[in-house]
Amino acid sequence: MIFDKIKLGYGYSDLEPHIDALTLETHYGKHLQTYANNLNNILEGHEDLVKGKALEEVLSDLEAIPEDIRQGVINQGGGVSNHNFYFSILSPNAKKEPSGKLLEAINKKFGSLDAMKEKLNSVTVGVFGSGWGWLVLDENGELEIISTKDQNSPYSLNKKPLITIDVWEHAYYLKYKNVRPEYVKNIWNVIDWAKIEEIYEGYIK
Ligand code: MN3
């Protein structure tokens, strides 16, 4: 595989009760695997286009992808990249609050951590249909809350992810049914601020 799914740093039942084991196993093992398989199939015969590139670099420069496979790369490549990021920031031993430079930046931009979470929750719950809510660093290095439709990637908008919440129904439906706000509220229990601080430090250094 040219681009593969990440290895999970935890077991399928480790995020219980917030994310149930069956959802995680299906989401990671079936949905993400399908995106990875489809992406690699699409790129067959186009290996030179992506050679030596991270998937995120490919998604940052969609103009370089031939038109006949571009939408496929947006859908399947975004599907791999978005999910890899999502699964990477979750942890059963999550640090519950940010500190240091990231907390300072959040306070400066949003007033408080709670205000940021409230805004991100609201934008995420408000995604119509399938998509993602994000805390990102924009092209000027400013924190920003956005949503993306389908599997569109923030990298294609010249933004870098810090937090994401998947609100395709497959991410929550087995446990939460139609109650998306409850899933969005509960996922904060397993979003690991230690990882997000590490990512942020990497972006600003
Ligand atoms: Mn998903």
CB atoms under 10 Å from CB of 203, counted, come to 12
Phi and psi, residue 31, nearest 5°: -65, -55
The mean pLDDT of 36-51, rounded to a whole number, is 96
Residue 194 has pLDDT above 90, yes or no: yes
Helices (H), 61-159: 67-72, 78-88, 100-110, 113-125
How far is the centre of ligand 1, averaged over its atoms, from the C-alpha of 119 (Å)?
21
* Six-digit token string for 125: 């719950």
**H or E element, residue 144:** strand 143-149
Residue 192 has pLDDT above 90, yes or no: yes
How many C-alpha atoms does 103 have within 13 Å on its Cβ side? 9
Residue 75 has pLDDT above 90, yes or no: yes
How far is the centre of ligand 1, averaged over its atoms, from the C-alpha of 46 (Å)?
26
Residue-wise pLDDT tens digits, 2-30: 999 999 999 999 999 999 999 999 999 99
Residue-wise pLDDT tens digits, 102-159: 999 999 999 999 999 999 999 999 999 999 999 999 999 999 999 999 999 999 999 9
The pLDDT of residue 62 is 97
How far is the centre of ligand 1, averaged over its atoms, from the C-alpha of 171 (Å)?
5
How far is the centre of ligand 1, averaged over its atoms, from the C-alpha of 129 (Å)?
13
**Sign of the CA dihedral with 106 first, then 58, 82, and 168 last:** positive
How far is the centre of ligand 1, averaged over its atoms, from the C-alpha of 132 (Å)?
9
3-state secondary structure of 34: helix
Residue 1 has pLDDT above 90, yes or no: no
pTM metric for this prediction: 0.98
Please give the mean pLDDT across all residues of the chain. 98
* Six-digit token string for 127: 């995604």
How far is the centre of ligand 1, averaged over its atoms, from the C-alpha of 166 (Å)?
6
